[in-house]
Each structure stands twice: as C-alpha cells, then as structure tokens.
Amino acid sequence: MELADGWGLDAVTMQGVAGRIGVTPMALYRLVASKADLLDGLVELFLTELPTPADDLPQDEQLAAMADGLRQVARRHPAVTPLLLQRPATTPGSKQVRQAVYGRLAAAGVDADKIARVERLMSTAILGFLASEAGGRLSHHPRRVLDEDFLALQRMLGAFIADQSTGEGR
C-alpha cells in the first residue's frame, strides 16, 4: 500500500514489493497465489480503513458519513481506488461493508425487496465518482467543484432512497 500511495499502482510489482520487504520476488509466492491475489489484498486493506459511523446518528447522516468516509479513504489511496470497481464484490471486506449499508437502508425505511438494488446503485455511483476523481477523469476541475459534485451526488442518492421507501416522504 505504501508503494501504491507513493509511486502509483504501476510500482506495485512482485519485484517492487519483494524489495520493499527485503526478500526475493519468488518468496512472495508463499504469501500470495498470484499478482491478482496481491491486488485483491490491496482492496481488502482499503476496505478495512473505512470508518464505522456512530450508531446514535440519524440514519441519513450515517449513510452520508459512510460516503464521506469512503471518499476520505479514496483520497488517501487514489491509486487503489479504481481497483474497487474492477474486482468482484464478494470478498470478506466487500461483504462486510455491504451488510452495514443494508442495515442502514433498512433502518431508513427502504423496502426489503429493494435494498440490494439500492445498495448496488449507490455503491456504483459513488465508486464511479471516486474512481473518476482518483483516476484523473475529472482532475482538471478544481477541488471545490468536485466537493460540490459529491454533495450533489449524495443529495441525489438521498432522494432516490426516499423514493424507494414506504411510510415517509411520498
């Protein structure tokens, strides 16, 4: 992760990582099955850094806090962020985060049969934005513009959640 943060994802090579921990490249194959496996480990590491919002916050603020936390981790690890969209969302870390979102969507009043879809669209939209931001697709815009974009994105998702809920709003 230090290698990715400091020198970009291209610096994360078997030889690079091996050198970083003072060992030959072949020794790494005792720890990971392949380079893809190593990159999956990077994604898991990313996910473990996500903060868990306090339980006593209102539900919509908890979801907003999770989105903000995701963006902060993405800002710390921009080289790793695009990987989140490219690996199956079935690893332990992914599942844990998803379950946390499920719980908060349920508490927010989203119909049980819509929760999974709402979670997919939310994560997809947020990760798409963060990958764009980290990958450089939007980096020609000043930070302030992107901050407001992210706020607008959160409001859009908030409206969508309300729309998929019964018992409040419409």
Partner DNA sequence: ACCTGAACACCGTTCAAGT
Residues in contact with DNA, shown as a per-residue x/- string from 6 to 25 under the rule CB under 7 A: -----xxxxxx------xxx
In the list 16, 69, 109, 135, the residue contacting a second copy (rule: CB under 8 A) is: 135
Rounded Cα distance, 138 and 141, in Å: 6
From CA 158, how far away is CA 139, in angstroms rounded? 25
- Give me the numbers of helices (H) and strands (E) for the chain, helices first please: 7, 0
Report long-range pairs for 9-12 (Cβ below 8 Å, ≥24 apart).
9/79, 9/80, 9/82, 9/83, 12/38, 12/39, 12/42, 12/79
Site for DNA in 26-85 (CB under 7 A): 26-27, 29-30, 34-36
Residues 117-146 that bind DNA (CB under 7 A): none
Of 87-116, which residues contact a second copy (CB under 8 A)? 87-90
Return the residues of window 100-119 that contact DNA according to CB under 7 A.
none
- Distance CA(122)–CA(64), nearest Å, equals 11
Please identify which residue in 16, 41, 69, 82 interacts with a second copy, judged by CB under 8 A: 82
Which residues here bind a second copy, judged by CB under 8 A? 82, 84-90, 117, 120-121, 124-129, 131-132, 135-140, 148-149, 152-153, 156, 159-160, 163
